[in-house]
Structure 1
Amino acid sequence: MTADVIIVGGGPNGLMLACELGLAGIRPLVLEQHAEPVAEPKANGLLGQVVRLVDHRGLYEPLSGSAEPPKPNSAYFMFAAMGLDLGLLADSPVFGLAAPQHRIVEVLERRARELGVEIRRGHRVTSVAQDQDGVTVEAEGPDGGRRLRARFVAGADGAHSVIRKLSGIGFPGVSYDRRTNRSAHATVPADWIDPASGALTVPGYGPVLPFLPHRTERGGFSYAPFPGLPPLVSTTEWDQPAGGEPMTLAELRASVHRVLGADVPLGPPAGPGPHVLRRLDGGNTRVAERFRDRRIFLVGDAAHVYASGGGPGLNLGLQDAVNLGWKLAAALHETAPPGLLDTYDTERRQAARRMVLNAQAQSALDALGGDTTALRELFAELLTHEQVVGHLAALVAGSDVRYDMGLTDPHSAVGRFAPELELVTATEKVRLAELARNARPLLLDLTEDQSLAASLAEDGDAVDHVGARRGPQGITGLLVRPDGYVAWAIGSPRPDHAELADLRAAVRRWFRP
C-alpha cells in the first residue's frame, strides 16, 4: 500500500496532525500500536497558547462543552509554586481548558474519521527506511506483517519513539533521578473544603488553594478538583527509596504527611474512572537533535519531553502538529516554496528550547534547601512587578514564541500567534478564530480602500481574503498562516508601495512554489 503520509502514533498529537492534513485534502494513514484507545489517565487539560489554537480549529466547544469562546485566566496562576498575580496585566495570555487526555483523543479521532482519515489500531512499527522518493515502513498487525510505502512519515509515537530510534536521531537532555512524584484520584473530607475559595483547609497546616502547586521545605503538594472527577492529590519528594510495590493510597497518605507535616485522610475515588494511582521516579527533560530527517518528522513527545507539571509536552505537541500539517500538505500539493519543510524543525525546536528553559527554571526553584528558599523569597519580591509577571505568564503560556518571518523591520504582531480579533465585515461580526477553521492562509484587509487584496493580483489565489470595516487599534492588515502565526502586518490605514511589496514577498515566501 502507498500513502501520502503515514503517521505513527494515534494519540492526541498524531490525530491532530491527521486532522490538519485532512482539512487540506490529504488522507494520511495512522498506525497505532494499541488495539483500543488508552484509558490510563494522563494530561488533565490544555494550558496557554494551545487553547486559542484549538479554538481556531473549532475544537474548543466540543472539548469544553461551552459555546462561549475561551477566556484568559485574569486572576491567579503559579510559577514554581509561587503566585503570579495575573490581575496586574491588562491582557493575560494564560488560557486553560480542563479536558482529560482520553477525551481529547476521542474528539480528535472523531474529527479525523469525519475527514476521511484511516486509523489502523494494533499495528506496531518494526522497521523504517527512506530513500530519495519516499519511506518504507514495516509493521506487525492483527493479520501479520505489512510493508507500507509513503512519501512522508511522522513519528508521533511518544517519548520512547520507535521512529526516532530507527532514524538514528539523538535525544540529548537531562535526567532527574532524585525526585519522586505520587498522584492519585481520592476523596477528601467535604467539610475541609472552603466553599468560597475551594481551598483544602488541612488542620495543623492551613489552606491549600486548588490547582496550584504548594512547596514546603520537605517537598511539594497539590490538590486539583477537576470538574466531573474526584480530586487529584499529588506530592513531590526528593531522595526517596525506590518503590518496589504497586502504588497505594496509604503510600500517598504517608507522603502527604511527610510533605505537609499533617495528616490528610484520603479515601478511594468515587465514580467509574479511569482513576489515577501512580508513582513516577525521576524524569527527563530532552529535545531531539533534529525534528526532521529528510522525509521523516518527529512530533510531540517523540521530539521533546519535560520533567515538569502542567502538561507542557501535550501543549507543545499539538502545536507541532498544526505547524507541520499545512507545510506537509503544501509539499504534497506542490505549492510549497523552497525550504518550507525545513522551517518546521527551525520553528518548533525554538519553541521546545523555550520550554526547556521554563521546565528547568521551575525545577530549580522547586528544589529543597535553604539556598533555594532564599532565592524564592527574592523571586517573590520580583513577582510584585507587572513586567515580571507578564514575562513569566507569557513563558508559561508559550505566547512569547516569535518566529522569524524574514522581514527586516516587522510590525510587532509579525512572527507571533495572531491576536484575538473581533472583526466587523460588510455583513456580520466575526472572530478571527472562526475565519481560521479551514486551515487556509488568510489575509485580513482593514485598510480604508481595501487595497491589500488588489495588490495580490498575481498571487491572490494563494490566500483567502477577508475585508473588514473595523478591527483592533494599530492593525489594518494581517497575513495569517494556517497555524495562526502572523507572516506580515501593517498598522497604517493606507499602505505605501514598500509595504505592499513586503506583503507580496511574504505571500511568495510562505505560500507560493
Structure 2
Amino acid sequence: MYDVVIAGAGPVGLFLAAELALADCSVLVLEQDQEPASPLKTLPLGMRGLNAGSVEAFHRRGMLHELLEASGVDAARVGAGPGTQGPTAPRDVSHFAGMRLDAAGIDASAVSFRLPGPAMEGIMTSLDAVGTVLAGRASGSGAQILPGAGLEAVTQDGDSVVVRADGRDHRARWLVGCDGGRSTVRRLAGFDFVGTPPMFTGYVARVTFDDPQKLDPGFNLTPTGMYLRTPFEGHLGMMDFDGGAFDRSQPLTREHLQAVLRRISGTDVALDEVHLASSFTDRAMQATTYREGRVLLAGDAAHIHSPLGGQGLNLGIGDAVNLGWKLAATVRGTAPEHLLDTYTAERHPVGAAILDWSRAQVATMNPGPNAPALRKLLRDLLDTPDGTTHVFHRTAGLSHRYDLGSDQPLVGRTAPDFRFGDGTHLGDLLREGQGVVLDFTTDRRLRGTAAGWKGLIRYAAGPVSDDLGFGALLVRPDGIVAWADGHHPDPAAFRHAAARWFGEPTP
C-alpha cells in the first residue's frame, strides 16, 4: 500500500509528489496520457508565467537554477546570478484585462516585508520546462510515475483509498486529485463544484498568416472581443464573447478560426494554415471543500477560471506547496490534530479571490456600449502608482496572508528571504522541507526550546543583513511565517506556535 496516490502528472501533481517524496512518503503518480510530451506544452502554446511567489517556491526546494536553465532564462534576470542579491523592484507587472502596466509605476516601498534574494521576479516559461524539472525531482526523490493509467473508480473507507486505473487496483492511505479541470477524481469522489458559466470561447493557435501586418502586436481590445499577437511567429490568441458556445463543440478548422479573427479584428486578415489550435472558456468554478474523507484536490481539479493574468498554474503550485508538508506530517503521524483541515481553510479563500480577479477582467473586456467608458476609468486608475502596485501585489503571489490568528502583520505571509553573513538565505534552509526557526538574538535563547522538534524544525542563528526589526521567527516548511517576535522573543510563545504546527515536542 502506498502512502499517497496522486492522479495527474502535470506540474501540480509532480510538485506535490516531490514534496511528499522529500518527506520519505511512498508516492504513486497515475497519469492518463501515455507520453508526457505534447506540442501544447512547448512554446508558444505552452507558454506560462510563473509569478514571484512560484519562483520562490522553486528556490526554496533547490530547483530554481534548473528551472531557469530549462526555461532559457538568464539567472541574473531574476537576481539569481553569482554574487547577486536581486533587483530592488520588479521589471514586469503583466497586465489587467489586456491593459499592460508599467513596472516603473510600482511603489517599491509599499511591497511589505520583501528582501533582495535569489528569487525576486516572475519568469516566462513553458509547461514542458516546468514538467521536465518537476518530473526529474519527483522521480529522483523516489516517487513512482505510471503513464497510461486512466482512472476508472475510487472507493474509500476509514483507513485507505482504492484507486482502479486501467484494470488494476492501487491502494493508498490518501488520494490527491491533480487531474485538471475535468477531474475524474473530483467526479468519482463526489465533490461539489460550483461557480459561474462562461462568457467567452477563447482560442490559442499557431498559424501561418497570409498578411500578418494587418494585425497589431500585443493585446488588442476591440468592439467585438480581443485578439493577441505575441513575439512568437504565428502565435495567436482570441476571445470571442459567445457565451462559451464553441468550446470543444466543433473542430477548430482554419475557416472557423479565420472567421472569428476577422470578426474580432475588423480586418480581412487571412490564415494560410493552422498548425495547432486549442480552445478554452472563462468558466469559473471551485470545489466547496478540498477534502472529502481521504481524498483531496489540488490545482485545476479544485478550481478553474480563465487564463487571464496567468494565475492558474501559480495557484496550483501554491496548493501543492501548502498541502505537501501537511499531508506528509499526517502520513508520518507527527501532525497535530486538524493540521490537514487547514489546507482547505487556507487555500480555498485564495482560490476564491483568484476566481474573482479573473471574473473582474472578463467583465472589463466584455464588449458592449458601456465597455469603452469602463475601460477608460480603469485605465486611469491603473496608471496611478497605487493602481499599478495593487495589480503587482495581486499577480506576484506576494499579497496572500493566511489567517493564523495573529495580529502580527508578518504572520501568515510568505517569509522574507533573510540573508546571513555567510551568504546563506532562508530559502536555502528550507530545501529539506523542514520548518525553520530563525534566531537573531545574541543569547540564542530559543536554541534549547527548538531542540524539542529535532527533525521537524531546523534551528538557525546569527546576524542577518536586515532583520526587519525582528528577533526571531518560526517559518513553516511552505515558507509561511507561523510566529514572529521582537528582539526579546518569548520562548513560551515560540513553544506554543511550534506545537500548533508541528505537534508537541519530544521529551
TM-score scaled to structure 1, two decimals?
0.85
Deviations 1:101-120 (A, max 9, x none): 12222221111111111111
Shift of residue 374, structure 1, vs aligned partner:
1.2
Q: Secondary structure in 1 aligned to 2:197? A: strand
Match status 1:479 vs 2:474 = yes
d(CA) in 2 for partners of 1:424, 1:80: 41
Q: Structure 1, unaligned stretches of length 5 or more?
A: 193-201, 270-274
Of 204, 221, 231, which aligns to 1:183?
Answer: 204
Q: Deviations over 1:72-92 (max 9, x none)?
A: 643453111223332222437
CA distance in 2: counterparts of 1:75 and 1:234, whole angstroms: 21
Which deviates more, 452-461 or 337-346? 452-461
The alpha-carbon deviation at position 52 of structure 1 amounts to 1.6
Q: SS of the residue aligned with 2:405?
A: coil
Residues 406 and 263 of structure 1, relative CA distance in 2, 3 Å threshold: same
What is the distance in 1 between the residues matched to 2:75 and 2:103? 25
Q: What SS does the corresponding residue of 1:297 show, helix, strand or coil?
A: strand
Q: Distance in 2 between matches of 1:431 and 1:15?
A: 25
Task: Note closer, same or farther for the CA distance 1:79–1:488 as it changes in structure 2 (3 Å cut).
Answer: same
Contact 1:179 1:239 in 2 (8 A): yes
Residue 78 of structure 2 corresponds to residue 70 of structure 1? yes
Residue deviations 1:242-274, cap 9 Å, x none? 4876324554444343333345566669xxxxx
2:227 is aligned with 1:259: no
Aligned-partner Cα distance in 2 for 1:317–1:487 = 22
Q: 1:139 to 1:506 in 2, by over 3 A?
A: same
Identify the match of residue 223 of structure 2 among 207, 212, 217.
217
Is 1:235 matched up with 2:238?
yes
**Alpha-carbon spacing, 1:374–1:90, altered in 2? closer, same or farther (3 Å):** closer
- In the alignment, residue 260 of structure 1 is paired with which amino acid? S
* 1:29 Cα offset (Å): 0.9
> Deviations 1:342-386 (Å, cap 9, x if unpaired)?
001111111111111111111111111122221221122222332
- Asked whether the equivalents of residues 308 and 363 of structure 1 are also in contact (C-alpha less than 8 Å), the reply is no
Q: Determine helix, strand or coil for the equivalent of 1:286.
A: strand
AA aligned opposite 1:367: N
Partner of 1:509: 500
Report how many residues are paired: 474
**Match for residue 154 of structure 2 among 128, 142, 158:** 128
Say whether the 8 Å CA contact 1:50–1:319 is kept in structure 2.
yes
Task: State the 1:40 CA deviation.
Answer: 4.4
Match of 1:161 among 165, 183, 203: 183
Structure 2 CA distance for partners of 1:512 and 1:40, relative to 1, 3 Å: same
Q: What secondary structure is seen at the aligned counterpart in 1 of 2:94?
A: strand
* SS of corresponding position for 2:388: helix
With over 3 angstroms needed to count, the CA separation of the structure-2 counterparts of 1:267 and 1:54, relative to structure 1, is farther
Corresponding residue for residue 350 of structure 1? 349
Distance 2:270 2:461 in 1: 60
Tell me how far 1:317 sits from its aligned partner: 1.1
Shift of 1:36: 1.3
Q: Deviations over 1:57-100 (max 9, x none)?
A: 22222222144473564345311122333222243799332221
Task: Give the Å deviation of 1:4.
Answer: 0.8
Q: Which 4+ residue blocks in structure 1 deviate beyond 6 angstroms? A: none
Matches within 5 A, 1:137-152: 137-140=163-166, 145-152=167-174
Which deviates more from structure 2 when the two are superposed, residues 179-188 or residues 98-107? 179-188
Which residue is equivalent to 2:277? 277
Q: Check 1:95–1:215 CA distance in 2 against 1; reply closer, same or farther (3 A cut).
A: farther
Structure 1 residues 265-318: Cα deviation after superposition (integer angstroms, max 9, x where no partner)? 66669xxxxx642244x4411000110112110111111000232442221111
Which TM-score applies when normalising by structure 2? 0.86
- Distance of 1:507 and 1:276 partners within structure 2: 52
Amino acid at match of 2:341: D
CA displacement, residues 112-164 of structure 1 (integer Å, 9 cap, x when unaligned): 11111111111122121111111122221xxxx22221111111111121111
For each residue in 1:385-417, what CA deviation from the matched residue of structure 2 results, as whole angstroms up to 9, or x when unmatched?
Answer: 32232222222223221112233x32x221011
Deviation at 1:450, TM superposition (A): 2.9
Q: Does 1:46 align with 2:49?
A: yes
Tell me whether 1:419 sits opposite 2:416 in the alignment.
Answer: yes
Residues 1:440 and 2:415 aligned together: no
Relative to 1, partners in 2 of residues 1:133 and 1:278: Cα closer, same or farther, differing over 3 Å?
closer
Query: Given the alignment of the two structures, is residue 104 of structure 1 paired with residue 130 of structure 2, yes or no?
Result: yes
Structure 2 match to 1:198: none
| Amino acid of the structure 1 residue aligned with 2:456 | A
Displacement, 1:419?
Answer: 2.0
Mapped partners of 1:224, 1:432: distance in 2: 37
Distance in structure 2 (CA, Å) of the matches to 1:388 and 1:279: 31
- Correspondence for 1:89: 106
Indicate which of 118, 131, 150 corresponds to 2:144.
Answer: 118
Q: By how many angstroms is 1:493 displaced?
A: 2.5
How far off is 1:232 after superposition?
A: 2.1
Q: CA offsets per residue over residues 178-225 of structure 1, 9 Å max, x none?
A: 4222221246699x8xxxxxxxxx56x7x534xxx3312221121223
Q: Which residue of 2 aligns with 1:208?
A: 217
Q: Does the CA-based 8 Å contact 1:358-1:396 persist in structure 2?
A: no
| Distance in 1 between residues matched to 2:13 and 2:502, nearest whole Å | 24
CA distance in 1, matches of 2:171, 2:93: 50
1:429 aligns with 2:423: yes
Are the counterparts in 2 of residues 462 and 507 from structure 1 also a CA contact under 8 Å?
no
In the TM superposition, 1:291-370 aligns within 5 A as: 291-370=290-369
Q: Name the structure 1 match of 2:450.
A: 456
